[in-house]
């Protein structure tokens, strides 16, 4: 679905199917079918069509807001994972350990803002350690995040 949302963002930027397809590096029929597929998946009309692009429906504007957030989050996730791989750290180790600790937390502490932020803070700690080129410190820092 993320790839279809990305196509939708190109269409919003270009406001023309042909130019949006070119910017996305796909053919115009691929872009059109991706948008149509997204409409079918969500069960709403996103784009007002005629012989050319007319604009987005009210629902389409709302979908665009979500698309910007979701695509942005997906890009950020890819960048964090790539940074962790560059450090030589296993991304699954970094992301799973805070989740395991969060699940084993006492009932009243589950789902706290601290636990939800643990994976992001862990990656940030790893990035700071990379600046000092200390991989061991990055690994230790990440494992200690949930205890803070």
pLDDT value for 135: 46
What 3-state DSSP class applies to 88?
Answer: coil
Show the 3-state SS of 35-76. HHHHHHHHCCCCEEECCCEEEECHHHHHHHHHHHHHHHHHHH
Give Cα separations from 3 to 7, 42, 53, 59, 113 (angstroms).
Answer: 6, 15, 20, 19, 30
Q: Is residue 137 in some structural domain? A: yes
Q: Is residue 78 in some structural domain? A: no
**pLDDT(110) > 80:** no
**pLDDT(105) > 60:** no
d(CA 75, CA 68): 11
- State which residues form the domain around 124: 88-147
**pLDDT(66) > 90:** yes
pLDDT value for 115: 46
pTM of the predicted model as reported, rounded to 2 decimal places: 0.56
Residues 62 and 121 in one domain: no
Q: Is residue 121 in some structural domain? A: yes
What pLDDT, in 10s, does the model give residues 26-55? 999 999 999 999 999 999 999 998 878 899
Of 61, 51, 45, 57, give the one whose Cα is nearest residue 17: 51
Residues 65 and 11 in one domain: yes
């Amino acid at each position: 679905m993320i790839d279809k949302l990305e196509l939708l963002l190109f269409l919003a930027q270009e406001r023309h199917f042909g130019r949006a397809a070119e910017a996305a590096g796909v053919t115009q029929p691929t872009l059109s079918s991706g948008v149509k597929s997204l409409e079918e998946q969500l069960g709403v009309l996103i784009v007002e069509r005629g012989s050319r692009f007319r604009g987005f429906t009210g629902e389409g504007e709302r979908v665009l807001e979500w698309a910007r957030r979701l695509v942005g989050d997906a890009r950020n996730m890819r960048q964090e994972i790539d940074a962790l791989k560059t450090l030589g750290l296993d991304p699954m180790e970094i992301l799973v350990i805070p989740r395991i600790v969060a699940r084993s937390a006492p009932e009243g502490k589950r789902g706290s803002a601290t636990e939800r932020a643990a994976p992001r803070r862990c990656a940030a700690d790893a990035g700071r350690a990379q600046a000092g080129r200390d991989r061991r410190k990055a690994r230790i820092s990440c494992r200690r995040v949930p205890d803070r």
